[in-house]
């Protein structure tokens, strides 16, 4: 019985398998039956015998027992008697699919739900935007602060120049419209002096509002292309026309407006 073998070699609980028991060539030579009858006693709660065959072949006789086992581990087959020869002590090794010695089969956790289409693009896009914002903020704080200050200063001066040009054009139109009235021309010069002083104070940072024409002439710091002496001469002529008590001609006002226009062009 030691040479008995299983087909297949590895049998699991519930599988239908065969146990082949080699026999001697002279065993049951007179038997004409290849399929042997067996009773219900060969069936138990652990194993069911489906069929018992006696096979005669040139290479040797064999006894084949077809069975299904429902208990893992070593399971003994019921005792058989064939041609007066008892077959006892037959057993088979049954494996459990839940406890395999070759690879312990562990149930995996539940599969993660699939990501919504476009989620990865949204996530990586948001991360990229945050990183870009941080890099831009770092650049502004470390390197761009000075440049940003310079850009703001240039923008401020352009706005001041544009505003002063607007004042000059508005006063020139008022002069043409009210040419016959000397009082209007004096008001135009008053407005021109006040607005131009305010412009220079904001543009240069010097307090031109409180300076006299002489102090402006002596001022060492310039206002771009226009120097202190040039500005001092302008305000001296403007104040003379405003406070001399006589008539103010249109030509004198036009000359002063032209001087302002020229100074603004040089300063820009």
Residue 119 lies in a domain: no
Answer whether the bond into residue 148 is a cis peptide, omega within 30°.
no
Paired strand residues for 77: none
pLDDT digits (tens, 9 = 90+) for 140-177: 777 767 777 888 889 999 999 999 999 999 999 988 88
Q: How far is CA 164 from CA 5, 189, 223, 260, in A?
A: 111, 14, 14, 9
User: Of 35, 66, 95, which closes a domain?
Assistant: 95
Specify if 127 maps to a domain. Answer: no
Q: Is 150 in the same domain as 263?
A: yes
Cα(43)–Cα(69) distance, rounded to whole angstroms? 10
Predicted confidence at residue 225, as pLDDT, reads: 40
Inside any domain, residue 137: no
Lowest mean pLDDT across 31-45, 116-130, 210-224: 31-45
* Domain interval for residue 241: 146-267
pLDDT for the residue numbered 172: 92
Edge-to-edge order in the sheet of strand 47-55: 5-7, 16-22, 62-69, 47-55, 35-36
Residue-wise pLDDT for 252-267, tens only, equals 999 999 999 999 998 8
Number of independent structural domains in the chain? 2
Which of 51, 71, 72 has the alpha carbon at shortest distance from 63? 51
The last residue of a domain, from among 54, 80, 95: 95
- Is residue 260 located within the same domain as residue 155? yes
Provide the pLDDT for residue 89. 84
Same domain, 240 and 173: yes
Q: Is residue 200 in a domain?
A: yes
Which residue, of 95, 128, 163, is where some domain finishes? 95
Q: Which tens digits make up the pLDDT trace of 59-101?
A: 778 888 999 988 888 998 888 777 677 888 888 999 987 765 4
Neighbours of 94 (CB within 10 A): 24
How much is the pLDDT for 108? 55
47 lies in some domain: yes
* Tokens linked to 133: 């914002």
């Amino acid at each position: 019985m030691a040479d008995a073998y299983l087909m297949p070699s590895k049998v699991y609980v519930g599988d239908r398998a065969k146990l082949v028991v080699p026999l001697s060539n002279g065993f049951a030579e007179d038997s004409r039956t290849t399929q042997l009858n067996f009773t219900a006693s060969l069936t138990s709660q652990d194993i069911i015998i489906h069929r018992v065959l006696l096979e005669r072949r040139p290479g040797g006789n064999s006894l084949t027992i077809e069975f299904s086992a429902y208990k893992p581990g070593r399971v003994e087959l019921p005792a058989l008697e064939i041609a007066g020869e008892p077959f006892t002590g037959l057993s088979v090794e049954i494996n459990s699919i839940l406890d395999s010695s070759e690879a312990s089969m562990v149930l995996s956790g539940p599969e993660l739900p699939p990501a919504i289409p476009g989620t990865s693009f949204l996530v990586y896009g948001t991360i990229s935007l945050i990183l870009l914002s941080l890099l831009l903020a770092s650049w502004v704080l470390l390197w761009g602060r000075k440049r940003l200050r310079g850009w703001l200063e240039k923008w401020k001066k352009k706005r001041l120049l544009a505003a002063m040009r607007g004042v000059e054009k508005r006063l020139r139109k008022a002069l043409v419209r009210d040419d016959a009235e000397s009082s209007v021309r004096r008001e135009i010069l008053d407005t021109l002096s006040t607005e131009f002083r305010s412009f220079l104070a904001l543009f240069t940072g010097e307090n031109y509002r409180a300076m006299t024409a002489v102090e402006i002439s002596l001022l060492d710091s310039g206002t771009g292309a226009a120097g202190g002496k040039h500005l001092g001469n302008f305000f001296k002529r403007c104040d003379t026309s405003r406070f001399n008590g006589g008539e103010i001609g249109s030509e004198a006002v036009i000359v002063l407006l032209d001087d302002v226009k020229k100074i603004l062009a040089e300063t820009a």
